[in-house]
Each structure stands twice: as C-alpha cells, then as structure tokens.
Structure 1
Amino acid sequence: MKIFRLILLILHLGLLFLLTGVLLNAYIPPKIFPWFNLLSLGFPILVIGYVILTFFWIFSWKKRAFVFMFLGLFFLNPVKRWVNYSSESKETANLKILTFNIKAGTLLGKDEIQKYIDDQKADLVFVQENGGELKLQNLTGKNSIPVVSLYTHYKIISRKNLFEGLPNRDITVQCEQVDLEIRGKIYRVMNVHLESFGVVKSMVKLNGNSEEDEQKVKDLVKRLIPTFKSHQEQVQIIRKSIDASPYPVIVAGDFNAVPNSYEYYKTSEGLKDAFYEVGRGSGTSFHDYKYPLRIDYIFTSESIKPVSYKVDRSVNLSDHFPVIATFKIE
C-alpha cells in the first residue's frame, strides 16, 4: 500500500508541475517554449486528475491533502475560463453581440444560418468562415476581406485588415478592425479568425495500433507547434492595435486557441472575458470533437460591462456553437 501511495504522490506532483506549466503561458511565448501552450489543450484532463487525487488524500486522512487543496486554489481562475457559474448581473444591457463561425454554411446551408442570426436581433454580428456575404434583416455588412464579416446597424467609420502584409499568411487567417459610432461614441471592434490547425477527426482518432498511433501523435504535434508560433505573430499584431486604440475595444471571433493558452493571456490583457465575468456552465464552443474546446471569445474594454453570456447549444448549424453576449455601455 505504501508503494501504491508513493506512486500516486509522484503522479500528483507531476500533475501539479504540468498545471503550473500551463500558467506559464502568460509569460513565455510559443517561439521560446511552445510546449507550455501544448499543455493548455490538456488542461481539463490535468485538472480532473488533480482533483481526483486530492480527494483520494482527503479520504485517506493524509495531511498532504491540505497542501494539495491549498495549491489547487491557484487553478480556480484558470478553471473558470472553461467552466463558470457566475451570479446573475443586475445591470440592464443595451448592446447585444453574436459571434459565430458558420463554416461557410456547409452543414445546413446559409438560409438556416441567416434566419437564426436574424432571430437573435443582435446589434453586432461577428461572422467567421463566411463563404460570402449574408443577407440579414436590419443589419448591413460588407465582405471586404475573405473569411470574416461584421454586420451591424451602427455607422461604420473605418475598416482595416490588420493582417494585411503578414508574411506567409494563409488566406483564412484574418482580423478586420472596424471603428463604429455607437450612440455618439466611437468603439473599435476586431473580428478575429486566427490560423487553424488543419486537424480532422481521423488525425486524432487512435485505433489501438501502437506504431500507427505513435505516428499520429507525432504528426499532430508537428501541426500544433508551428501553428502556435504563427499565432504568436498574429496575436502580437492584435495586441498592438488594442494598446494603440484611442477608443474602447471589442475583440471577438474564432481564436483557434483554448483558455489559459498564450493566445488567450496575450489578447485578454487589460480586457474583460465576457464568459469569465458572467458566463454559466461550460464555455465549450467547438463541438466537432468529444472534448471540451472553448475557442470562440468576446473580450471588451473595462468600460463595457458584460451582462449575460450564452453558448447556444440549441442549434447545430456549424461545427461551432454561436456565442451570444449582452453588455451595458454608457
């Protein structure tokens, strides 16, 4: 029994070490050490393992349980970025935002997507993988660059493709910066679609053949690491625009990155994550795999107060669920 407990203790310390590595994404970019960012993908499994072992020590009446419970407090905020149970906000919302990667309408067609978006009556609609312009009621948009489109009934002051001129850029990698006039005040919004990993189900499905499975894992890592490094360049451009903005900002879209990743930490500096502030339940927005993947976000300046946040799982119009949030602005 002592040997068994020693093995579990070593395993628990190993999980603690790996979870700490995830937190280092806030400080160490992928170009320096990409493996911490790789760990962020496994964060849910690492946390579940850590909690199970902590309960084991509690039920075993071991003093080390208190140590692991105390150290576990450092991971409460990271967990809230995946699963959250915020209290209901008492603010009255006056701005509704929807962000949705529609996968070019290839699942059920654009008519269904257009109807769904119209029914939401949002003020700002961020669309990724648009596959051409949508025809929405009471909202106007412009497919000025491929992949992303912004639809709104507010006055557009200016538009800019932040990733224009980025070397070796895939055409699907886009970020449009749009300055809007909302109730007499200018806001800067950014519609984001970071580089995709290009991973399909067959690449991650293991079949029990050790040699084939090992090769699949190696091929997967070969795809992930370069994409992490490309994301670093893309996020740094977004970050520069956020820092230079003379207006309050709203950054939304498909980041192809999970919470507690470098992309998340870098983008959210000084901004509010609407899900973290007012979200309830799971934030998972990409549902093509049987694994929790939250990769769609809405970040706002401090002056823009989140009131509600919803990942709408009632519809299956794409491999992403729509994300809908409301805010209070002055």
Structure 2
Amino acid sequence: MSVFAKISNKVLLGINVLVVFFFLLACLAAYISPMDWPILYIFGLAFPFLLLLVFAFLCWWIFIRKQWALISAIAVILGGGAITNFFAFNFKKPFQQEKKAGQIRIVTWNVARFVEMVVNNNKGSQTRYKMLQQIKATNADILCFQEFSSSINPDWYNNIVAVSKGLGYPYFYYSHDWDGDRLFNGSVIFSRFPIVDTGIVRYPRPTLPEALLFVDIKKEKQLFRVYTTHLQSNQFRKEDISKIEALKKAKGNIISNAFYIFTKLRTAIQHRSIQADMMPEILKNSPNPTIFCGDLNDVPNSYTYHTVKGAMQDAFLKKGLGIGRTYNSLSPTLRIDYIFTDHHFEIDQIKRVTTNYSDHYMMVCDLRLAPAAD
C-alpha cells in the first residue's frame, strides 16, 4: 500500500470516528431534554444523514480494512433503537379500502386550515373541495384534524358544517378561541360513533395556545378514548425557508443564517418539550383504551416523540414500510404526524395519502379493539 493510500485511509478513519460520534449523539437526542441540551436536537434532525454515512463507511471498510468496519458496526448496534424508530421494517401490502367487521378506521391530518378560508372559487377553494372529497373517500369512522379552521361568518367557510353534515359525522368536539373575526382555529375530532364525554388540556405559556383534546367514544358496548393535538411548530416563514435553502447550497452568510435557524429551532423544541412533558401523566390516567393522533412537529428520534409515545404502539412502525414521510417540505425524512395506541388495540393496516393539498400527508389506519372482559 502506498504512503498516500495509508494517509488517505487514516484521514477517512478519523472522519468515520467523528461521524460515529455525531451519530451516537443523535441517538441520545430522544432521551435528553432539549431544555438542557438543545444542540442535541440538531444532531437528531441530522440522524438519517448520519446513519447513511455510517452505513457508507461500514461498506467501505468491509472491502478495504475489515477490522475498521467494526467502528460503524458497533455504532449501528448501539443505535438500533433509534434506527427501528426511524424506519419501519414490514412487508408492503396493498391497503384494503373495504373495512372488515370489527375494524375502526381512523384518520389524522393537519389540514392547514383547508388552504382557503374565504368563500370563493379560486385555486385554494378548489383545493379545499378536493380535500373534502379525499376525506369522504376514506370512509373513516373517526377524523382527527389539526390546524382546522371554521367560521360563523357567511363570507367564510364553515368547515364544521361541511364535515359534520356534508360528510356524515354527526358527533364532534371542537374547542376554539374567539379571535375577533368569527374565525376559529384549532384541533377537532369528528366521529360516526357517539361521543359520551369530552375534555381539553391547555398547554402553559410560553408555548402557543395549542391544546390537547380528547373524546370518549362508544362503539356498541365498548368505550375508548381518542386524543389529538398539534404541538408547537417551528413557525418557519418564507424568509426562513430561503435561509434554509441557502444553507443547503452553502450560499449567503452561512454562520449568520445557521445561528438564526438554530435559535428559532431551539425556541420551538424547548416549547415542545414543555408540552410533551405533560403527556405521560395525562395519557396514563385515561380510564379507557386509548388512541393518540397528532402532529407532534418532531421526528421519531426526538425527545418529543420518545416522551409522548412512551409504551404505546406506533401504528406506522407496526404496519408501514420505510421512512413514512408526512411533511412534504424541507426534507424527505420528516415523519412528524403519528397514530399511537395502547395495547388494547390491534393494528391491522395503515397508509399515507400523499396528495399535496396540505403541507402534510393524511394518515389512515384500521384498528381493532380487544373485546371487553365480561
């Protein structure tokens, strides 16, 4: 081996060790509160790319220096839990549109206020109509929507009426704040089964006025509880997106842009951690079998995901395949919308509906509730 080759391999080995170190930090992001170490969140966002590099080095050293491949191999073993949270390993099966007896079909979707809120016939209103048709086509029993809007102003869309009466969901719970324009925004749960109880938990300041909603639903003789929420978003504006795109292309003032984006991310993730820390106690106290649907605005190897999910089942990991992207901007690695259930439920199938009407993809899942004990 030439001197140049030896030096090159040692440089690559040094880079490999650094990548493995960052990869393991990314794996730790799920277990350490961003209130203490916000920088770990950035490594967590970079997890899929670090994982790709770790595998690339593993394959490279297998052919060049097998003993050095152990560095990446050990990293993969140590990061196994983070990998299986990030990627679903199941055989791909076609989604069966026809519901089977005993199944409960549930939908979760961040509908982005249905794109257009003012009654008209522009492109946004046409998209809203397509979204309503997409919802109708699912034939779901329960709908959980985040960033839902509705108005009692006749010049604006009343989406409560459009869904409850137009699509046949007579039972719903929508807690909203008066904003002075008779336009209400928040999360909502619609059901074709009777709702026998409802509740809301407000998140504390300094987080935005998001809320955790729940309904107790009666299906025949069985009761179960459905939660939905939308956690603190990163609130990226157009100018923020342009800074991110500039960073991707290594253009502009890299240091200034990176610090600005990190500051915004840090604020959002710390607010989300406050919200997430409330969840375990609330979910644990549910008196009925539990389903959780929501837009957590966080990836599967994050503190938010790890804290909210707890011991519940992730429906996508149970029956999905691949990364399962649900946010259709910025990066193809962003799965931030989830359906979790406790172990009273069996998960039959799940799918994403990858239309670009909203900036999120709809998720549709069929569940079975175990028979109640006599």
TM-score, shorter chain, exceeding 0.5: yes
Of 318-327 and 196-205, more deviation after overlay is shown by 196-205
Task: Verify: 1:237 aligned to 2:278, yes or no.
Answer: yes
The residue aligned with 1:329 is 369
How many residues align? The count is 327
Residues 1:320 and 1:50: Cα distance change in structure 2 (over 3 Å): same
The residue aligned with 2:315 is 274
1 CA distance for matches of 2:40 and 2:352? 27
Shift of 1:120: 0.3
Kept in 1: contact 2:246–2:252 (CA 8 A): no
Shift of 1:121: 0.6
SS of residue in 2 equivalent to 1:4: helix
2 CA distance for matches of 1:271 and 1:319? 26
Shift of 1:298: 0.5
Q: Give the TM-score, by structure 1 length.
A: 0.92
SS of residue in 2 equivalent to 1:265: helix
User: Which residue, out of 205, 215, 220, partners 1:167?
Assistant: 205
The unaligned stretches of length 5 or more in structure 1 are: none
The residue aligned with 1:46 is 50
Of 142-151 and 35-44, more deviation after overlay is shown by 142-151
| Letter of the 2:245 counterpart | K
1:170-209 correspondence runs (5 A):
170-171=208-209, 173-200=210-237, 201-206=241-246
| Letter of the 1:29 counterpart | S
User: Which residue, out of 94, 112, 116, partners 2:103?
Assistant: 94
SS of residue in 2 equivalent to 1:147: strand
The residue aligned with 1:144 is 175
User: Which residue, out of 245, 257, 262, partners 1:216?
Assistant: 257
Of 109-118 and 187-196, more deviation after overlay is shown by 109-118
Kept in 2: contact 1:81–1:283 (CA 8 A): no
| Letter of the 1:312 counterpart | V
Task: Verify: 1:23 aligned to 2:64, yes or no.
Answer: no
Shift of 1:243: 1.5
| Letter of the 2:352 counterpart | V
CA deviation profile, 1:207-259 (whole Å, cap 9, x unmatched): 76765222111110000112111111111222221111222211111110011
| Letter of the 1:144 counterpart | S
The residue aligned with 1:81 is 85
Kept in 1: contact 2:27–2:47 (CA 8 A): no
Shift of 1:30: 1.1
Shift of 1:154: 1.4
Structure 1 runs of 4+ aligned residues shifted over 6 Å read: none
SS of residue in 2 equivalent to 1:282: coil
The residue aligned with 2:332 is 291
Residues 1:198 and 1:167: Cα distance change in structure 2 (over 3 Å): same
Residues 1:50 and 1:22: Cα distance change in structure 2 (over 3 Å): same
Shift of 1:67: 4.5
| Letter of the 1:25 counterpart | A
Of 11-20 and 73-82, more deviation after overlay is shown by 73-82
| Letter of the 1:116 counterpart | Q
CA deviation profile, 1:265-320 (whole Å, cap 9, x unmatched): 1111110001111111331000122432110001100111111121112x221111
Shift of 1:183: 3.0
CA deviation profile, 1:173-216 (whole Å, cap 9, x unmatched): 23212222233222221111001101242131117676522211
**CA RMSD for the aligned pairs?**
2.2
Kept in 2: contact 1:177–1:189 (CA 8 A): yes
Kept in 1: contact 2:92–2:321 (CA 8 A): no
The unaligned stretches of length 5 or more in structure 2 are: 94-99, 116-123, 151-158, 177-184
Q: Which has the higher contact order (CA 8 A, sep 6+)?
A: 1
Kept in 2: contact 1:86–1:278 (CA 8 A): yes
Q: Give the TM-score, by structure 2 length.
A: 0.81
Kept in 1: contact 2:175–2:186 (CA 8 A): no
Residues 1:86 and 1:256: Cα distance change in structure 2 (over 3 Å): same
Task: Verify: 1:124 aligned to 2:142, yes or no.
Answer: yes
Identity %: 22
Shift of 1:13: 1.6
User: Which residue, out of 25, 36, 39, partners 1:35?
Assistant: 39
Kept in 1: contact 2:233–2:268 (CA 8 A): yes
